[in-house]
Amino acid sequence: MIFKYDINWTYQLSPKLSDYLNKYKVNKQGEYLTPPERLERGKTTTTDLIDKQKHEAEYKELIKEWALEVYDKWNAHHSIVDEIAKGFLDRK
């Protein structure tokens, strides 16, 4: 959502998204996002992020690369996530 819709995410939006997801799931209880296989989830891990002590700008770029990689690996569910994102943004 942050990248696709160019959202400036703040901590205040997190509980709002959680509330929206709770309401969304009431009518979608059978919907489940099957995660990619363990070794197909991308090459960068959160441990890599922790282990690499970098300057702030480099660290932000590394986090962005990791996030885009994760997003790409979950591509089978992009239509569901997009539906959720659009619904959330319409109500935010």
Q: Which residue has the higher pLDDT, 76 or 61?
A: 76
Q: What is the pTM of this model?
A: 0.74
Contacts of 53 (CB under 8 A, 6+ apart): none
Q: What is the C-alpha separation between 20 and 49, in angstroms, rounded?
A: 29
Contact yes or no for 74/11 (Cβ under 8 A): no
**Collapsing DSSP states into helix, strand and coil, what is residue 24?**
helix
pLDDT of residue 53: 67
Domain spans, the chain = 13-24+37-91
pLDDT in tens, 8-66: 889 999 999 999 999 999 999 999 999 999 888 888 877 777 766 667 888 888 888 88
